[in-house]
Every structure is written in C-alpha cells, then in structure tokens.
A and B are shown apart, each in its own frame.
Chain A
Amino acid sequence: MKKRVTLLKEFTKGLWEINPTFKQILGMCPTLAVTVSAINGIAMALATTFVLFFSSLLISLIRKWIPNQVRIASYIVIIATFVTIVDLVMKAQFVELSKALGPFIPLIVVNCIILGRAEAFASKNNPLRSMLDALGNGAGFLISLFVLGSIREIIGSRTILGYQVMPNGFEPWLIMILPAGAFLTLGLLMGLANLYTERKKNLEREALIAQYKRVGREEITDEVLKEAGV
C-alpha cells in the first residue's frame, strides 16, 4: 500500500532526505564544474530550479497523453524548451554569469536531476505535487551548490559572494578552485552527510529496540525492524 505523503513533505523531502546532490547523487557534472564560487553555484541552481519547476509541471499535466515508448524524447523536448528560455534570458540580462557558467546552462537539458524527477515523480503524480517536488529538489540543489561553492570560494579565493572574508595573510589554496578541489570538497561533504544519516538511523533503531523492551515484546527480529523502516 502506498503511504500517504503530506503536501509539505513533498516539498521538504528534497531539502535533505532525497537531496539531489548528497542523496540521489544526481547532477554531478554541474555540481563539480561550476561551484568555483558561491554566486556561480546559486545561479546554476536557480537556473536548474526554473527548468525543473516548469518541466515538472508541464510533464505532470500531460502525463496521461505521453505514450510510454517515446516518453524520454518528449521529456527532453519539454526540458529543452525551458532551457532555451533560461539560456537566452541569461545571455541578455546576466552577461557575466552567462559567461562564467559557459556551456553548463545549455547542458541543463541533460541534467539528470530534471530527467530523474520527471521520470520518477512528475510522470506519476498530479501537477500540484509535482510542482512542490520540483521546488523542493531545486531548493535542495541550491543549498548543496551554495555550500560547496562557498567552501571552495572561501579557501580558494578568500572571498564569499565577492566579499573578502579571509585575512590577507591567508594564502589561497589554488587547488580549491581547480577540479581536484571540487572532488575533494564534494567527497568530504558526502562522507559527512552519510555519517550523519548513519548515526541518526542507529539512534532511531536503538530507540525502537528500547521501546519494544519496555512493552515487553520478546522478539525483535530483523523483519520487525525493517517494517518499522529503521
């Protein structure tokens, strides 16, 4: 049986539980490539969120008419439409950012977060839920890109969002604005995220076992624990 998910949950799950970067591990290419600075990360995430939101909405609206055999092609066409809009708007209004992000804006077309949410969520759920899901995932993507970009910008060029935060005596680590720095930072952050999840799960598990012992239930089998979702 399908569990009832509240509308709020559809939004908030994207922030952490299924965070695109740290939990679904999707969209790694822009994540690693553009997070040289915090502002680039924000811009990339906002552009992705825009495309994600509208393509999820549209795909969800027409999900019953898309033949199963050509669904991926249909999604790509829809996504590409919105990516073109973003690309042209950025080229017209934010020239600097557009140059900094380079080919990664057009590449949103094949960003697996968008295709992933379309395939896994929007094609099976109603438009309202799809919109919330898209916003949640976009926000989660924004958070992770901002964190990653900030760390790399602070250590790699002493600034955050263009404001200097580290003293002049601090020698910037050039590696942090090179691709190697992206891999190192992302790997360490992901390790921390996994550690946190694991600790939390263990605590929940122990709490459940303690609860079972209190009410005097003898058998605490793996099946029982699995059913409780811990």
Chain B
Amino acid sequence: METTTTIEPKQKVYFDLTTSPHLHSKWTTSKVMWFVVAALVPSIAAALTFFGWTQIFIIITAVVFAVGTEVSIQVIRKKQITWFDGSAALTGLLLALTLPPNFSLSATAIGSVVAIGLGKQIFGGLGYNIFNPALVGRAFLQAAFPVQITTWLKPNFAVDSVTSATPLAAFKFDKIFTDTVPMAIGNVGGSLGETSAIAVLIGGILLIAVGIVNWRIPLSMILGMFLFGGMFWLINPQNPTPIFHIFAGSFLFGAMFMATDWVTSPITNKGMWVFGLGISLVLVVIRIYGGLPEGVMYSILFMNGFVPLINRYTRPTIFGAVKEEKKK
C-alpha cells in the first residue's frame, strides 16, 4: 500500500510586506527622520529669534496634531502604530515652518490633520503618498484661509519701517527689491522657517554631508534658478535677479527640505536633475506671471505629480543589457 505523507504547516507563515527599497542600510526610517528634525533646529531657532518665542506654540500644535492624526488613523485602520518613527512629527514640523508667524493655532491644527490624513494616510501611510504631505497641508490652508496665511508679521529687528510684506510680495505688488543680506540672515517678513537662508543652508548642508539628502536635487534647483531666472532677467531687467529669486521666499527651504523628501522625489540620479530643473522653471513662471507672489509650494507639488513619469523615463539600463537596435 502506498502511503503519502503530507507536510502540514504547523504555523501560518506570515510574509512581512513593506515598501521598497529593501536594501539594508544603517539609516533606519526613524534615524533619518529625527536627523532631519535636528537639521531643522537652526531654522526653528531663527524663527523664534526673529518672530518671538511664542511662535513655538505653532510648532507644538502642528507636531502634536500631526502625530495625533497619524496614531488615530492607524488605530482606526488597525495598522501598526508608527508614530515613533518621527515621520509624522517631521511633517508637522515642516508644515509649521511654512506657516506665517502668529498663524491661528486652530487653523494650524486643521492643516496638520489634513497633511497627515489627506496627504499621507489616505494613500496608505509612509512611502505611498504621491505629494509631499506638509505641502498638501499648507496648500489646503492656503485655499481655506487665504487672508490669514498671507498676513505677515514684521520681524523683531527690522531697522526701518519696511512694511511687514515679504520680499516677494514687495517685489510683486510694489516693485521694491529687498537687499540680499537681510534675506540671507532672515530679518525680513515671511513664513517661520523660510526667512533665514543661512539657517536653512546650515541644516541643508548637514543633511547633504551625512548623505540623507541627495545633493542633486538642491543643486539642480539652484542651477535651474540661475538658468531660468537669469533668462527672464536678461530678457527684462525689471524681473528679479537669480540671486534674489534664490534668497527670497521659501526657495532654499523648499530645495533643502521639501523637494528632497524621499517618498515624493525621483529615485534615479538623472530623474533628480529633471525634477529640480522642472521645479525651478515652474517656480520662475509662477513668480513672474502668476497671481501669487510665491510659488515654491505649488511648483514642488506640481513636479511631485510628475515623479512616477520621471522615474519611468530615466530608468537606468539593466547591467549587461545591450541597447536595443532602432527599428527600421
């Protein structure tokens, strides 16, 4: 008699499915996230210096509500709770730094909930979102409270009675150019984290040095600014110089912290160049021809939408593959 033995698994085998990449690295998600938070400390310090220490409440509100939203959605969806990886806290922090000083706390909370809820968790959580969550939150606030979000506070050390308008708004509506030095230090009107170019650069260069941020994206954005901004400037000297473009508004902040978000930027080196140049081009067009003075947020979100396409067309050749012959 023939006997067959069937091996029955005693235990169910669970496959842990996570998003790619699966390469092992010393950088875990939480390490990266907390490191970026650390890199933002100079910007936070600059914000508190120039706009008063009470601005810390905006930051706290944004972070608390971002983390709270993340946890509550994960509890509702019965997913693993991952607030401690810091990604939600970072989103909240980034959102807070893009808001104007003295922004209402309730609106900040709404922005945080939207950023995490609609910007990230609705797509499935970390790694699945198409658009930068912090910028989604800010775009929502921009559309929901257009007056509040463009009400700027005069910085603490303003030497003269320069209005509290941002350098970009001053240029757009009154054709006044702000000097580069106050813009670099941060003694101008603007969103909390964006005004001090030096603080942003310290954090950004730190991130590039340790390899969290790929230098290609910020560099291509800055070069793109020289290229496209310079082009418009050469055509019409009434337009701002590339240097003004770079130091005004949230360009550097966007280049260092927003566009370089791992999830929403291209994965290929070539793609990063396309992405960065694209952002600069869209940005210059918005700043010069658009109705709003600033467009970093929209240009990054716009290019975020192209990332899958960029990835597809800049896919590197497989190792050893021979270039396909052109069909005749």
5 cross-chain pairs, A with B, having the tightest CB-CB distances, nearest first = A175-B143, A173-B144, A175-B144, A174-B144, A180-B143
21 cross-chain CB contacts under 8 A? A171-B104, A171-B106, A171-B107, A171-B145, A171-B148, A173-B110, A173-B144, A173-B145, A174-B143, A174-B144, A174-B145, A174-B146, A175-B140, A175-B143, A175-B144, A176-B144, A178-B143, A180-B143, A181-B143, A184-B118, A191-B122
In the assembled complex, which residues on chain B have CB atoms less than 8 Å from the CB atom of A184?
118
Q: How far is the CA of A134 from the CA of B87 in the complex (A)?
A: 50
User: Which residue on A lies nearest to B143, using beta carbons?
Assistant: A175
In the assembled complex, which residues on chain B have CB atoms less than 8 Å from the CB atom of A178?
143
Q: How far is the CA of A171 from the CA of B110 in the complex (A)?
A: 11
User: Which residue on A lies nearest to B110, using beta carbons?
Assistant: A173
The B interface is mostly helix, strand or loop, or mixed, namely helix
Most buried by B among A174, A178, A181: A174
CB distance from A166 to the nearest CB of B (A): 13
Q: How far is the CA of A175 from the CA of B110 in the complex (A)?
A: 12
Q: How far is the CA of A171 from the CA of B118 in the complex (A)?
A: 20
B 129-149 to A, binary, CB cutoff 8 A, 1 in contact else 0 = 000000000001001111010
**Interface size class of chain A, counting residues whose CB lies under 8 Å from the partner chain:** 10 to 19
User: Which residue on B lies nearest to A174, using beta carbons?
Assistant: B144
In the assembled complex, which residues on chain B have CB atoms less than 8 Å from the CB atom of A191?
122
Q: How far is the CA of A180 from the CA of B107 in the complex (A)?
A: 18
Q: How far is the CA of A175 from the CA of B147 in the complex (A)?
A: 12
Q: Give residues 158-204 of A contacting B (CB, 8 Å).
A: 171, 173-176, 178, 180-181, 184, 191
CB distance from B143 to the nearest CB of A (A): 4
Q: How far is the CA of A174 from the CA of B145 in the complex (A)?
A: 6
Q: How far is the CA of A174 from the CA of B118 in the complex (A)?
A: 17
Q: Give residues 127-175 of B contacting A (CB, 8 Å).
A: 140, 143-146, 148
In the assembled complex, which residues on chain A have CB atoms less than 8 Å from the CB atom of B145?
171, 173-174
Q: How far is the CA of A85 from the CA of B79 in the complex (A)?
A: 54
Q: How far is the CA of A211 from the CA of B110 in the complex (A)?
A: 47
CB distance from A179 to the nearest CB of B (A): 10
CB distance from A25 to the nearest CB of B (A): 18
User: Which residue on A lies nearest to B104, using beta carbons?
Assistant: A171
Q: How far is the CA of A173 from the CA of B147 in the complex (A)?
A: 11
CB distance from A117 to the nearest CB of B (A): 32
Q: Give residues 43-71 of A contacting B (CB, 8 Å).
A: none
Q: How far is the CA of A191 from the CA of B121 in the complex (A)?
A: 13
Most buried by B among A175, A176, A181: A175
Q: How far is the CA of A26 from the CA of B106 in the complex (A)?
A: 37
Q: How far is the CA of A181 from the CA of B145 in the complex (A)?
A: 13
Q: How far is the CA of A191 from the CA of B110 in the complex (A)?
A: 20
Q: How far is the CA of A176 from the CA of B145 in the complex (A)?
A: 11
Q: Give residues 92-140 of B contacting A (CB, 8 Å).
A: 104, 106-107, 110, 118, 122, 140
Q: How far is the CA of A180 from the CA of B140 in the complex (A)?
A: 9
Q: How far is the CA of A127 from the CA of B170 in the complex (A)?
A: 67
In the assembled complex, which residues on chain A have CB atoms less than 8 Å from the CB atom of B146?
174
In the assembled complex, which residues on chain A have CB atoms less than 8 Å from the CB atom of B106?
171
CB distance from B227 to the nearest CB of A (A): 32
CB distance from B324 to the nearest CB of A (A): 41
CB distance from A171 to the nearest CB of B (A): 6
In the assembled complex, which residues on chain A have CB atoms less than 8 Å from the CB atom of B148?
171
CB distance from B25 to the nearest CB of A (A): 34
Most buried by A among B104, B143, B145, B146: B143
Q: How far is the CA of A230 from the CA of B118 in the complex (A)?
A: 31
